Structure 1
Amino acid sequence: MNLLNAIKTVRLFKKQEELIPLKTKWSQQLDPNHVLEDYPRPQMKRDNYINLNGFYHYAINQQKEIPHLFQGEILVPFSPESQLSQVQKQLLPGYYLWYERVLPPLTKENGHYLLHFGAVDQIADIYINHQHVFHHVGGYLPFQIDITNHLNHQHDILTIRVTDDSDTSYHAKGKQRLKRGGMYYTAQSGIWQSVWLEWVGETYIEDVKITPDYDHDQIHVKVILNHEYHQDIQFQINQQVPVLMQASYNIIDVTLPIENKISWDVNSPYLYKLYVSIQDDKVECYFAMRCFSIEKDDQQIPRICLNHQPIFMNGVLDQGYWPDGLYTAPTDEALIYDIETMKSLGFNMIRKHIKIEPARWYYHCDRLGMIVWQDMINGGEAYHTWFVTWMPSLLSWTKKHISDKHLRLLARKDAHGREEWIKECELTIEHLSHFPCISTWVLFNEGWGQFATEKITQYVRQLDPTRLIDSASGWFDQKCGDFRSEHHYFDEPKIISDPRAFVLSECGGYACPIEKHISVHQVYGYQNYTSIQELTQAYETLYQKTINPLIEKGLCACVYTQLSDIEEEVNGLLTYDRKICKIIQKERNH
């Protein structure tokens, strides 16, 4: 145990520094008239799409009614706290954030206009022509509204009202804090993923679920329509001969064979296309033939396998923060840069930490061959830091022997909050199960809002039996899920005999501030280095002396903290502005 380094991370009565503004190269090139215009739902594409990103009128006030006057313009989909929004104001609990814009001409008389929001943090009310049409709770998941019956097709007005309790309630909040510092970051709010419209016919495809059956060379497809349909539905894989079948309900299940199967893996991430057509609608989907499993090797050690072949998942923690856009990357190219840079450093897995990204991020992981461990978003009341952070870090035995029934200590007293988290967990899996790159659901992290771990693990297994489950990353293990999952920052990890696979779901965290690329001067990290050369040497030593020797003994995955600096926390492999890679790149064995 490196007690000195652990004590240095304890932050008491620290005065908050004002952030030094940083910009990425992508924000410097951003055209506000063309913001994030790539198709936002690549897992189910149509040939029509209206991007509603851009400038909206905005106001922040304490009035529940639609304001008569607005205070300025905000660039959507960037939160008002971000530089790119051109607002840079904090939405506080008890206040309302209002958006308003005129919709483009919507002239089609038949069919349906569907309005989509990628994510709005935290509680959203939607108005069309000043009439309330929808209410949504939850800041991380997409939702859509059929606005057809509310349109006048002449001068239609879209208005959005947002409230955000941030970290003052039990709602999902991730790493956001109104009082940021250390490993907690600036709270953001409002619209932070793309807003868009599409037109569909009277009968249309609501969703297509594709589940690969790798061992039997086939896929199971479930098509969900908006109402019953009694005509032909067509399926076509790539350019193969289409398959027709008669539909009789609004849900159609079909199994399609895959001839001469091409497997997806990190070195050859092959994606199939699937076209689904009905009389009034056609969508383009994609899928991959792959499977994830835990299987024993010749020494009877459980190993993570991809397509039944052992794979060491060499991962990096990614929290998806940007200095100019906070939760929102400035461009699609910025998302791609992060993924490709991590691949160039030798990583084959990203742990998406306490955040859900736009669908395009997962699509890029699919096509670039990057495996993803997806965290659920933590919620709960105010955390007891001494219990969930300091005690497990300093007294390692407590990680293994504390029950998750201590609801007060784990900030889960509120029954409504527990119910809401389970529902959002279910919706997260429903939304993200489209993406082949996701291998693992991470349910709880370091005890933040943890409860009923074993019961929830069983429920998630029923929802998605095709993926692995990390039930409790870090500590407060309840002896369920597929992994014995530990965090080691201040002590040496050791393989402990367990029927589950052993993973280091967090380690490293080495800090190295780079002048002119930092947000504050009083920085935060777990071990401090003064140069890129020193950091690279420490990083290499960690893998050569600690990580690599443990692989033979049973280590199945390792997650290095982290992809980039974030505000005070400077333990990234990249600076916060993504302008410098702090690791000297060369050929690596991991």
Structure 2
Amino acid sequence: MMKKTMALACVIASSFSLSFAQQWKPAGDKILTTWGEQLNASKPHPEYPRPQLKRTGNWQNLNGLWKYKIADKGEITIPSSWDGDILVPFAVESALSGVGKSVNKDQALWYHNEISVDKKLQKGRVLLHFGAVDWQCDVYLNGQHVGQHEGGFDPFSFDITTVLKKGGKQQLSVRVWDPTSDGPQPRGKQINNPHGIWYTPVTGIWQTVWLEGVPHTYIAKTKQTPDVDASSLHVAADVEGAQAGDLVLLEAYDQGKKIAEKSVTAGNDATLQISNAQLWSPDSPKLYDLKVKVMRKGKVIDQADSYFAMRKMSVGKDAKGIQRMFLNDKFVFHYGPLDQGWWPDGLHTAPSDEALKFDIVKTKEMGFNMIRKHIKVEPARWYRHCDSLGILVWQDMPSGDLGGNVWDMQPGKISNGKHDKERSAASEAIYKKEWKSIMEALHNFPSIVIWVPFNEAWGQFKTKEITEWTMKADPSRLVNSASGGNFSYTGHILDIHNYPDAAMPDPTIFGDKFVLALGEFGGLGLPVEGHTWQQKDNWGYQSFKNKEELQKRYEEVIANLTSLVPLGLSAGVYTQTTDVEVETNGLMTYDRKVIKIPEATLKNIHSKLYSVDVAK
């Protein structure tokens, strides 16, 4: 009888899953990735979304089919009817949302989901988490407004404990307003009329939505900073609802063996001694486990799992007196692709975690040791993959307020900050608030080694002030104030852009004061029939007819790049990882189905870049 009951349950579950999937299909006629073609609409992005603070036993994923409505911006009450279903966490404009519609500045996007909260989550407090929502987000539960968040790239949460109904269904509604290129907010490459290097807008929920049950006293966040010179890890734990006498216990582990322990009063920072640490690098991405516990009278009140790495970023002069970047006190040439993190079917959202990881794996297999994450922020799991695989990350701040920019940066020509944009006080405040939130959210990921506040003068303002503010906020990393933008003699790096060939700032003028970097170059294009965003009018900075021509030209530009390393160049960024919409500059097609130059061939070509001996 038990077997029959279980079999019947399996049939019902399978039927429900099939019925659920039949309600959804990709919208439009654009190319799809393999992961998009195989997407299980009943369980999109089911993985635990916060790898740096894990409580895996007490959470509930809310991704899946929700109701949606595109309404007039002025309609501020929760709709009573809906336009249809949308697959969360994919933006409404994307194919994988199942909608594929645009939303303008005079409209608002509403979501609705009827949810049941697992009983195991309701023993203490219940938190509602959003990985990212672009841009202004108002959240309602059972008709009550629980909070508002502005920012398209940073995670946020609300405590919904007091708004939950006892038993039964909960009515969760979300209103999103996103002006895209009609507003000053950070938006990266999104634009209302996509063309050239500007892409389809991303509106609404685009990362995982989830519930978490926590005790009344719980660890809200941690900040972990390694100090290689002192053989220590500095940890600050933010504990909500702490009581007098509560302690924070920190335990560091190496493959299950405890290597350090420290207990401090809640609200105080702690320093763990990590003796004989194995340092993290692309060649040896060593990670240590960290357990964080709140203790009360000897009892564990809350516990979360995390991890850390011991690694050091610094600058110093080589034997020729040229400023270089050092990783763990050794010169490592940084070479990686400009990685925009766009997908033909999910736009900002990868179709799956496997897809998210795929780009990083391929980048590593191609012989790159770095990725410049270009004016976009990824879900936390992307950075976890970089930590584990061993990829250095340059993290851009997404650009915004682009109108009226003046770009006066050419190789060998320095603007001295004379062309900073005049932004309104509101625009500046939006930028600083989100950049601060992004840096805080990403602080614990050791793969991130450089912050990039501005790109090519796009919205660049108060460069010296913003750069020094960024440096003060995180002294453990280097700051590249304006990649290819207007240079203001500030920060650690002087970064120029040059297409298609390799170039560098004059080391005889700038080399003793700043690390010299080529923040973008290349852009060699090859459209591959059947794998392009549109049938014609695709472009590259320099286009080719076949893979053989592309490879030959690529070898030439890398040979030129290699010749600059002994002269003083410390980093290069090739445009780009994949094709993106009408751009065909990628080493892979937009759907990731074709790699234009074999991985092993690229790795061999790149090997010469890392063999240049630069004595310290």
TM-score, structure 2 length as denominator? 0.88
Cα deviation, residue 524, structure 1: 2.1
Cα deviation, residue 532, structure 1: 1.0
Cα deviation, residue 226, structure 1: 0.6
Check whether the contact 1:168–1:381 (CA below 8 A) recurs between aligned residues. Answer: no
Q: 1:19 to 1:383 in 2, by over 3 A?
A: farther
Cα distance in 1, alignment partners of residues 434 and 423 from structure 2: 18
Equivalent residue for 2:542, pick from 527, 531, 536: 527
Cα distance in 2, alignment partners of residues 147 and 563 from structure 1: 41
Cα deviation, residue 48, structure 1: 1.8
Q: How many residues align?
A: 559
Check whether the contact 2:139–2:147 (CA below 8 A) recurs between aligned residues. Answer: yes
Equivalent residue, structure 2, for 1:75: 87
Cα distance in 2, alignment partners of residues 469 and 424 from structure 1: 17
Q: For residue 590 of structure 2, give the secondary structure of its aligned residue in structure 1.
A: coil
1:94 aligned onto 2:115: no
Q: 1:307 to 1:492 in 2, by over 3 A?
A: closer
> Residue deviations 1:277-311, cap 9 Å, x none?
12321000100000011111112221111100110
Equivalent residue, structure 2, for 1:212: 226
Equivalent residue for 2:199, pick from 185, 201, 204: 185
1:320 aligned onto 2:341: yes
1:40 aligned onto 2:75: no
Cα distance in 2, alignment partners of residues 347 and 374 from structure 1: 16
> Residue deviations 1:444-489, cap 9 Å, x none?
1110000111111111111100100100110311111111100010
Equivalent residue for 1:112, pick from 125, 128, 143: 125
Cα deviation, residue 419, structure 1: 1.7
Q: What are the equivalent positions in structure 2 for 1:192-207 lying under 5 Å apart?
A: 192-207=206-221
Check whether the contact 2:500–2:523 (CA below 8 A) recurs between aligned residues. Answer: no
Cα distance in 2, alignment partners of residues 558 and 515 from structure 1: 30
Equivalent AA in structure 2 for residue 219 of structure 1? L
**Structure 1 unaligned spans of 5+:** 1-17
Equivalent AA in structure 1 for residue 426 of structure 2? H
Equivalent residue, structure 2, for 1:8: none
Check whether the contact 1:166–1:177 (CA below 8 A) recurs between aligned residues. Answer: yes
Q: What are the equivalent positions in structure 2 for 1:401-412 lying under 5 Å apart?
A: 401=415, 403-407=417-421, 412=422
Cα distance in 1, alignment partners of residues 419 and 557 from structure 2: 36
> Residue deviations 1:64-105, cap 9 Å, x none?
211111111000000010010000100111111111111223
Check whether the contact 2:411–2:504 (CA below 8 A) recurs between aligned residues. Answer: no
Cα deviation, residue 194, structure 1: 0.4
1:103 aligned onto 2:119: no
Cα distance in 1, alignment partners of residues 354 and 239 from structure 2: 34
Q: For residue 176 of structure 1, give the secondary structure of its aligned residue in structure 2.
A: coil
> Residue deviations 1:323-358, cap 9 Å, x none?
000000001111111001011111000000000000
Equivalent AA in structure 2 for residue 89 of structure 1? K
Equivalent AA in structure 2 for residue 234 of structure 1? L
Equivalent residue for 1:584, pick from 584, 593, 598: 598
Q: What are the equivalent positions in structure 2 for 1:266-415 lying under 5 Å apart?
A: 266-278=282-294, 279-384=300-405, 387-388=406-407, 400-401=414-415, 403-407=417-421, 412-415=422-425
1:417 aligned onto 2:407: no
Deviation >4 Å, runs of 4+: none
Q: For residue 300 of structure 1, give the secondary structure of its aligned residue in structure 2.
A: coil
Cα deviation, residue 519, structure 1: 1.0
1:252 aligned onto 2:268: yes
Cα deviation, residue 245, structure 1: 2.6
Equivalent residue for 1:243, pick from 261, 266, 281: 261
Cα deviation, residue 413, structure 1: 3.1
Cα deviation, residue 144, structure 1: 0.5
Equivalent residue, structure 2, for 1:7: none
Equivalent residue for 1:166, pick from 155, 170, 180: 180
Equivalent AA in structure 1 for residue 577 of structure 2? L
Cα deviation, residue 580, structure 1: 0.5
Cα distance in 2, alignment partners of residues 26 and 383 from structure 1: 40
Equivalent residue, structure 1, for 2:568: 554
Equivalent AA in structure 1 for residue 370 of structure 2? M
Cα deviation, residue 315, structure 1: 1.3
Equivalent residue, structure 2, for 1:126: 139
Cα distance in 1, alignment partners of residues 522 and 337 from structure 2: 10
Check whether the contact 2:291–2:305 (CA below 8 A) recurs between aligned residues. Answer: yes
> Residue deviations 1:231-271, cap 9 Å, x none?
33322111316735352x4x231111112211111011010
Check whether the contact 1:276–1:283 (CA below 8 A) recurs between aligned residues. Answer: yes
Equivalent residue, structure 2, for 1:85: 97
Equivalent AA in structure 2 for residue 57 of structure 1? K
Check whether the contact 1:266–1:370 (CA below 8 A) recurs between aligned residues. Answer: yes
1:434 aligned onto 2:444: yes
Q: 1:177 to 1:48 in 2, by over 3 A?
A: same
Cα distance in 1, alignment partners of residues 441 and 122 from structure 2: 30
Q: For residue 240 of structure 1, give the secondary structure of its aligned residue in structure 2.
A: strand
Check whether the contact 1:471–1:480 (CA below 8 A) recurs between aligned residues. Answer: yes
Q: 1:458 to 1:309 in 2, by over 3 A?
A: same
Cα RMSD after superposing both structures: 1.7
Equivalent residue, structure 1, for 2:455: 445
Equivalent residue for 1:471, pick from 449, 468, 481: 481
Cα deviation, residue 379, structure 1: 1.1
Equivalent residue, structure 2, for 1:52: 62
**Structure 2 unaligned spans of 5+:** 1-26, 295-299, 610-616
Cα distance in 1, alignment partners of residues 327 and 149 from structure 2: 37
Equivalent residue for 2:525, pick from 499, 504, 511: 511
Q: For residue 70 of structure 2, give the secondary structure of its aligned residue in structure 1.
A: strand
Q: 1:485 to 1:175 in 2, by over 3 A?
A: same
Cα deviation, residue 106, structure 1: 4.1
Cα deviation, residue 380, structure 1: 1.0
RCO higher in structure (CA 8 A, sep ≥6):
1
Cα distance in 1, alignment partners of residues 423 and 284 from structure 2: 47
Q: 1:527 to 1:226 in 2, by over 3 A?
A: same
Equivalent residue for 1:572, pick from 564, 569, 586: 586
Check whether the contact 1:19–1:567 (CA below 8 A) recurs between aligned residues. Answer: no
Check whether the contact 2:336–2:372 (CA below 8 A) recurs between aligned residues. Answer: yes
Cα distance in 1, alignment partners of residues 28 and 112 from structure 2: 30
Check whether the contact 1:19–1:519 (CA below 8 A) recurs between aligned residues. Answer: no
